[in-house]
């Protein structure tokens, strides 16, 4: 009986030793335990670029030649008819540009070499051509209107440059600053949409950002204004020669 117990004890001990001595076989779902005797490989942390560095890198990818039109998709088809403007004597609000973007930039910089803008002269002009084309509004004349309203982007009145408000939207004088827009392009879009509100019953192709678009459309109903002179006393008060002065600036752009 004692011998039998001894045999069982020895067998169990041998079996236990044999089990302990066999290394565990890990499968794909088993986590490896770090051996403290094995040095840990240090991973060098890569310094991430700052926001300014990322923006600069992105902008450098889109630099264009000085002689190249910044907005080159002007001839893309639209789903509405826009008459082609063929004469500088044409006073219509709706139409196509006659001046080039370079002429607009040269005219601005000739009158103010340091415009107070959040973007370059080339960019602000490109926004007018993009947004104007999108809605069928003549971008070169709209740009001339912005120059008149802002004093060639010098400001000095109630509106400040940070508003990105290039056409006096919402300002009535006496310190009333009017509307603020988050970006220069949204400010341009609001300007173009406001012109569309006066000149067409067609809704803008983009979501409305002009806070006064609905006010104009409700007031005018089915009526529209056809020419820049029609803005006299409406966009600006008294504005007796408001539209004529815009067209005069537009014609000056054409000879740049």
Residue 83's alpha-carbon distances to 73, 87, 133, 137, in angstroms, are: 18, 12, 12, 10
Domain assignments of the chain as residue spans, ordered by start: 95-254
State the pLDDT at residue 46: 58
State how far the Cα of 118 lies from the Cα of 107, in Å rounded to an integer. Answer: 19
State the pLDDT at residue 188: 98
Could you tell me the sign of the dihedral formed by the alpha carbons of 75, 81, 82, 86, in that order? positive
φ, ψ at 243 (rounded to 5°) = -65, -40
Token pair recorded at residue 61: 């990818």
State the pLDDT at residue 17: 45
Q: Which of 180, 230, 166 is nearest to 200 (CA)?
A: 230
φ, ψ at 221 (rounded to 5°) = 60, -120
Q: Count of alpha carbons within 13 Å of 166, Cβ hemisphere only?
A: 31
CATH of 95-254 among 3.40.50.2300, 1.10.10.10, 3.60.150.10, 1.10.530.10: 1.10.530.10
CA angle 180, 184, 185 (to 5 degrees): 110
SS3 94: strand
φ, ψ at 137 (rounded to 5°) = -95, 135
Q: What is the pTM of this model?
A: 0.71
Instruction: State the CB neighbour count (10 A cutoff) for residue 37.
Output: 5
- Along the 256 residues of the chain, how does pLDDT read in single tens digits? 444 554 554 444 444 444 444 444 444 444 444 455 555 444 455 566 665 565 456 544 434 444 444 433 334 446 899 999 999 999 999 999 999 999 999 999 999 999 999 999 999 999 999 999 999 999 999 999 999 999 999 998 889 999 999 999 998 778 888 999 999 999 999 999 999 999 999 999 999 999 999 999 999 999 999 999 999 999 988 889 999 999 999 999 999 9
């Amino acid at each position: 009986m004692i011998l039998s117990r001894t045999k069982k004890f020895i067998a169990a001990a041998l079996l236990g030793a044999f089990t302990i001595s066999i290394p565990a076989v890990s499968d794909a779902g088993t986590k490896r335990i770090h051996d403290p005797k094995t040095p840990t490989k240090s991973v060098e942390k890569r310094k991430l670029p700052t926001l300014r560095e990322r923006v600069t890198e992105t902008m450098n990818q889109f630099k264009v030649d000085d002689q190249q039109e910044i907005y080159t998709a002007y001839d893309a088809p639209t789903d509405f008819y826009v008459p082609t403007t063929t004469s500088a004597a044409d006073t219509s609000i709706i139409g196509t540009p006659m001046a080039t973007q370079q002429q607009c930039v040269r005219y601005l910089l000739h009158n103010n070499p340091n415009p107070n803008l959040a973007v370059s002269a080339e960019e602000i002009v490109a926004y007018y051509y993009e947004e104007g084309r999108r809605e069928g509004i003549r971008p070169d004349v709209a740009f001339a209107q912005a120059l008149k309203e802002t004093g060639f982007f010098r400001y000095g009145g109630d509106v400040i440059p940070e508003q990105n408000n290039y056409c006096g939207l919402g300002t009535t004088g006496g310190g009333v600053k009017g509307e603020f827009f988050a970006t220069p392009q949204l400010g341009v879009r609001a300007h173009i949409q406001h012109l569309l509100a006066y000149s067409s019953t067609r809704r803008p192709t983009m979501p409305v950002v002009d806070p006064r678009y609905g006010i104009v459309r409700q007031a005018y109903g089915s009526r529209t204004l056809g020419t820049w002179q029609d803005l006299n006393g409406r966009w600006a008060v008294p504005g007796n020669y408001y539209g004529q002065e815009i067209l005069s600036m537009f014609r000056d752009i054409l000879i740049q």
